[in-house]
Amino acid sequence: MEKLITNKLNIFNFIRDYKLENRITDLVMTKKRPVWIQDLIAIKKKESKEIYSRWIQLSTIGLDNSPRVRTVVFRGWSKNYEMEILTDKRSEKFKELEKNNNVEACWLFAKAKCQFRFRGTAKIALEEEAVNYWQNLSPSSRSLWLWPLPGAIYDLNSFYPLEINDGVPKPENFILLKINIFEVDQLLLQKPIHLRKRWIKNSGWIEERINP
């Protein structure tokens, strides 16, 4: 009799957990989208026409373990909601990422007075995905990857191409980075109390309101 009750309880708990899990999944993932994406899209819409709305600050760990930060262009989201960024394999950040691929990206939406911070890890995307980006860049944007070594002393005699025509194959130093995000923190400056929210991948992307 006792065994029967225990079994019934186990089944009850299983069904309850299953329902709860599915409800949470429904809440945090809409069509496999983590919920914070909706917040980001809504905020971004207000200033999407501004060129700076795609500029983000990407931080890495320097080779000497001190922080490094620079502006990069947000290129888009992958199917798995990884952040896509184009960069040069010859740059310092690339060497840093080879040693330690932990990153944080900070994205400010000035009009909305809203900041998103993303923690994650960077990886190099597949060659064909990078080729696709290369082909779709404008000739002037492509030229940067054929400029002399980033960070080296400027030489007046160096050649700086200003345009790279369609059809020129992707250079080896043209890299597509994908940032796999595991934590998102949003701060919205509003009255009377600022709004701060956090989502953590390992907790199923459940939204938590935290103190600003």
Ligand X SMILES: Cc1cc2nc3c(=O)[nH]c(=O)nc-3n(C[C@H](O)[C@H](O)[C@H](O)COP(=O)(O)O)c2cc1C
User: Which residues of this protein are in contact with ligand X, per CB under 6 A?
Assistant: 55, 68, 70-73, 85-88, 91-93, 150-151
Minimum Å gap between C-beta 151 and ligand X is 6
Min dist. Cβ of residue 159 to ligand X (A): 20
Task: Please give the structure tokens belonging to residue 32.
Answer: 């496999």
Name residues whose C-beta falls within 8 Å of residue 23's C-beta, 6 or more positions apart in sequence: none
Question: Smallest distance, Å, CB 79 to ligand X?
Answer: 21
CB half-sphere exposure, 163, CA atoms < 13 A: 5
Q: Per the structure block, which two tokens stand in for 77?
A: 């989201």
Taking the complex as a whole, the smallest distance from the CB of residue 111 to ligand X amounts, in Å, to 18
Locate the DSSP E strands across the chain.
Answer: 29-30, 33-34, 55-61, 67-73, 76-77, 83-88, 102-109, 114-124, 174-188, 195-200, 207-210
Smallest gap from residue 88 Cβ to ligand X (A): 6
Whose Cβ is closer to ligand X: residue 29's or residue 72's? 72
Instruction: Report the residue number, 68 or 196, with the smaller CB distance to ligand X.
Output: 68
Residue for token pair 């009750």: 5
Closer residue to ligand X, CB minimum distance, 91 or 121: 91
Q: What's the CA gap between 101 and 80, in Å, rounded?
A: 18
Identify which of residues 73 and 189 has a Cβ nearer to ligand X in the complex. 73
| Residue matched to tokens 């980001």 | 40
Taking the least distance from each CB to ligand X, the nearer of 174 and 205 is 174
